[in-house]
Chains A and B, each alone.
Chain A
């Protein structure tokens, strides 16, 4: 594939779309153009969903490739998990195809919904719940009074934790309003500059994409 197609064409497409999106976001030309832009925006979004769906198929094949490879290599610790992944992937794909062929939404297909609700959902919730253990061990490890900023962090963490619980209210009623103040004032003040900085970083990234300086997303050089 020539360099023009591999490198220049994607860069031109990206630059054009960025400029057009910015243009139509800020400039009002007339009602028809505005409506066309909204329609085009929705169309782009729909195409992106289609691309993601196709990429998900590629991803599914990649998963199969990796796990089949693990089974072939007879990695004993991995083999049982790889078998489970392959079996479940095939079952879910078959159920989804069956749902589509029946003309119903995939998530309303009873078997798919059952597997999602009683197999996947509890595992999903369990992984989210594991965070409480990790927060506890991370708090134990990191909330140490090493220096003045660490001491301040420790005090604030204790106030917020006590403010969140009924036990805190039993010790002193002021923990809840103090917790609210910490959330509303210093916490928000700390988040806002980070959000602004992220916005500036995004604008610079967009500029680099337009002028062709950001090329890692295209993969291989040359």
Chain B
């Protein structure tokens, strides 16, 4: 029996069963789910099922339209501009150990790097990729090598030149990236990943040499610096969407719709909470039970 056709239905049944389990556990105070984690569990279920549903629809050939992200399209513009001026393209991913809560941002950065590398191969641009995450050195080397070889430009690949591990210490990494941007005279500076105080240093280093800058991070405190100083910026979740867009895979793109369902649920909860507040009901207190 071919279960592939019924994947979505099986997922729906599992989703409903888990919802029932959560409801029964909450109502009868069974110690199945930890107290205070019911609402996050339900939200996770809804989002996961929504994402899986859209992926399945895309697999069946029903593409899901995804809005364009200006910063993603601007990457190609920046690389083309750098090639016209005979300058290099610089990309950086961030620093630090990968085994932290920022690991997803490194993954998103790798997704954007693969897109950047493919474009560099397409236009014949020299790519310099700096990073401060030692665990990702091999992944970056393979992504860039794959891009140049598949793009028919193997002569442009030089592992020592293209991939530079700097250090995993914050300001040592920041000063090294700043120096790299300026010494390599980067025509395009693409900065995607988790960044801390060094974000503005990178932007100013690029601005000093009139570099075209595209930046993105999911660290909220640094988003304002990128929005102000970069030509185009990915804001928050857009870096994860960019990672999906970079793959060019319709099924991966379709999962972005799941994020929109999450936002819809949040709006509904906010509106309901605002309506209930004047009558003395604090929705937030119920949600954390």
Contact = CB atoms under 8 A, between A and B. Distances in A.
Direct interface between A and B, CB < 8 A: yes
The DSSP consensus for interface residues of chain B is helix
Contacts of B183: 77-78
B239 to A, nearest CB: 8
A205 B108 contact: yes
A59 B218 contact: no
Interface of A: 22, 25-28, 45, 48-49, 51-52, 55-56, 58-59, 62-63, 65-66, 69, 77-78, 81, 120, 123-124, 127-128, 130-131, 134-135, 137-138, 141-142, 191, 193-208, 211, 213-221
Interface stretch (B71-79, B228-236, B273-281): B228-236
A194 B135 contact: no
A213 B55 contact: yes
B259 interface: yes
Contact of A216 (B107, B167, B170, B218): B107
The DSSP consensus for interface residues of chain A is helix
B159 to A, nearest CB: 9
A201 B259 contact: yes
Contacts of A219: 138-139, 141-143, 146
A49 B239 CA distance: 26
Nearest to B142: A219
B99 A207 contact: no
Interface residues of B, number: 81
A181 to B, nearest CB: 18
Interface string B134-149: 1111110111011000
Contacts of A78: 183
B156 interface: no
Contact of B249 (A65, A138, A141, A213): A213
Contacts of B203: 134, 138
Nearest to B198: A127
Interface stretch (B84-92, B119-127, B185-193, B240-248): B240-248
Given A197-B236, A216-B143, 13 more contacts: A77-B183, A81-B179, A124-B170, A130-B201, A131-B197, A134-B201, A135-B200, A138-B204, A138-B228, A197-B263, A200-B258, A207-B47, A207-B255
A129 B84 CA distance: 36
B135 A52 contact: yes
Given A138-B229, A203-B262, A213-B255, A194 B223 contact: yes
Contacts of A206: 104
B51 A207 contact: yes
Contacts of A81: 179
Contacts of B181: none
